Structure 1
Amino acid sequence: MEKRLVTVDFTEDGFAIVRMKNGQNRFNLVFLDSLNQALNEVERNTKCRAMITTGEGKFYSNGIDLEWMMTVDSEAIVKFQKALENIMWRVMHFPLPTVAAINGHAFAGGAFLAMSHDYRVMRSDRGWITWNETHLKLRLGDMLLNLLSKKVLAMKSIREAVLFGKRVTADQAKELFLVDSMTELSDLIPTAKQVAQEALGPNGIDRDMLQKMKQDLYVRPSGDKPFLPETNLKGSKL
């Protein structure tokens, strides 16, 4: 049986645990397709009340698979850019409360994925969250800048984690409002479930209304410029 890069487990108390299980969980077309399939499973389950995403081992996600991108043609890069843009907006507009349980490093695209969620819980003793595009000599396009403007409101946070690409630990991330809470690895999923439960409140939230509210608050613009121009990619050092 072919190994699934992203799996979904449904708990008896109504949570979907989406696990990224491909090492560093770098984004390429195959990985994004697997992630999309997992999101489809969650949406089809009408008994599911909230979604939690996490990784395994040292990594939540180490971002875009630049080595893979160096091996494909421009058509595949454009297709990938659109697929990643769609996955970010899909998570931002997901019809359930979403929590990123950051078990390890969340770099660049991985940090963007975490920020696409409603909430973030980070492992306290290990792992960084950071945007290292400055160090890779890669510019951020409209879509990712738009995401940051909606999810990271403090200028200090933008300056430290994005502009200067510092490796932010869990306690620093909480101080910068990049994550909502931090905890030991053994309590990561239980804490994420508690966060989601508090978001749901005692009476729950209607799926359709929640999604409409997210779409109103996080308006998806049309005609965004590409976020990872091929000229920048080819000229950067991996």
Structure 2
Amino acid sequence: MSDLIDYRLEEGVATLTLNNGKVNAISPAMIEAFNRALDQAEQDRALVVIAGQPGILSGGYDLKVMTAGPLEAVELVTAGSTLTRRLLSHPQPVIVACSGHAVAKGAFLLLAADYRIGVEGPFHIGLNEVMIGMTMHQAGIELARDRLRRSAFHRAVICAEMFDPQGALSAGFLDEVVPAQGFPEAVERAAQRLKSLNPSAHRNTKLKVRQGLLSALDAAIAEDRAQFKIA
């Protein structure tokens, strides 16, 4: 499939393992590989599991691209927000197996999934954009507003608070936290449970539940581009 994403299909489960350096940076090439993998998963009618490397899901967008210039940055963020929208409306269940740190776009991947499993450990999960001098994009705000608990939304978005796995569970980034030795089994259990859903009912209900969020994301993506006067 790609050197950046390993695609493995087994018994109706497509595992997409990110593999882009030590922090799994989300680059334009990574997003292209992501979309190709999702295309294949749709063709295979497979449940999707997104996984990282031991100790990290992703550290976020590729900073070399983000600092190359405003055009490069907005194009990458637009592609990333569009990927988020696709994950939220994917016809099959989407699980993220968060094997450690998940920062910025890595944390947004968690917010775009149907079920999120984290592993216990000294890991950081959250949105650090404000901490590193980046004003949060509107699409990110809309996603966080919808998926995070109200008590954590302002702390995460405005104050750039980073959470340990248990804190991320309380905030709404994760649905389950398990010990490292039980992590693969927990992912397998979740996959088997979600595989048992009626595919049509899952897809249609997901789209109904998220109709407002998807519409808000469409408007936010356009707004983010308009701020840079990009058609």
**TM class, shorter-chain normalised?**
0.7 to 0.9
Structure 1's 190 and 229: CA in aligned 2 closer, same or farther, altered over 3 A? farther
The TM-score, its normalising length taken from structure 1, stands at 0.83
Tell me the residue number matched to 2:166. Answer: 171
Contact 2:110 2:174 in 1 (8 A): no
Report the number of matched residues: 221
Unaligned regions of 5+ residues in structure 1, if any?
231-238
Shift of 1:132: 0.7
Does 2:124 correspond to 1:149?
no
CA contact (8 A) 1:61 1:109 kept: yes
Alpha-carbon distance between aligned partners in 2 of 1:186 and 1:229, rounded to the nearest angstrom: 46
Amino acid at match of 1:178: F
The equivalent residue for 2:34 is 35
Cα gap change, 1:71 to 1:211, in 2 (>3 Å): same
Distance in 2, matches of 1:51 and 1:27, equals: 18
User: 1:53 and 1:189, CA in 2 relative to 1: closer, same or farther beyond 3 A?
Assistant: farther
Amino acid in structure 2 at the alignment position of 1:16: A
Unaligned runs of 5+ in 2: none
Question: CA deviation digits over 1:51-99, x for unaligned, max 9?
Answer: 111101332011111222223562x434323211110011111111111
SS where residue 26 of structure 2 aligns?
Answer: coil
The structure with the greater share of residues assigned to helix is 2
- Output the CA distance in 2 between the equivalents of 1:51 and 1:187: 20
Preserved CA contact (<8 Å) 1:140 1:228: no
Aligned pairs for 1:98-177 (under 5 A) are 98-152=94-148, 154-177=149-172
SS class of match (2:156): helix
Give structure 1 regions of 4+ aligned residues with deviation exceeding 6 angstroms. 227-230
Q: CA deviation at 1:169?
A: 1.0
**Partner SS, residue 106 of structure 1:** strand
Q: Name the CA distance, whole Å, in 1 between partners of 2:154 and 2:112.
A: 19
Separation in 1, partners of 2:8, 2:13: 8
TM-score by length of 2: 0.85
